[in-house]
Amino acid sequence: LAAAVLAEIPAAAGHIAVVPSVARAGAGALPITNIPSRALAVRPRDGQAAAFARRLRLGEPPVLTRVQDDHVLLDVLAIRDSEVDETAAVLAAALA
């Protein structure tokens, strides 16, 4: 996913890195299992992580993320291999 996103967007659009992450599985509001993962961390050049996350949610297709420490995190466990190119395109459009 990171390589696809980097191919789609110019470096000036923001800071992008792959970081360790933990996905959680379980019932409702009480996740019971932690799953080690990786996440794509994006910090838009304008520093507006919440606004960037909103643009992703409103994209087509919607991309769900979480905001942490001024970065938008997209856990790679949430993306199927068949969705990588489409997700990269949505990320690039939201950063434009």
Q: What per-residue confidence (pLDDT) applies to 12?
A: 59
Domain count, the chain: 1
CA distances from 70 to 6, 15, 49, 82, 93 (A): 19, 11, 6, 29, 19
Kindly report, residue by residue over 47-75, the tens digit of the pLDDT: 899 999 999 999 899 999 999 999 999 99
CATH number of the domain where residue 79 is located: 3.90.1150.110
Q: What per-residue confidence (pLDDT) applies to 10?
A: 65
Residue ranges making up the domain that contains 67 = 2-24+33-95
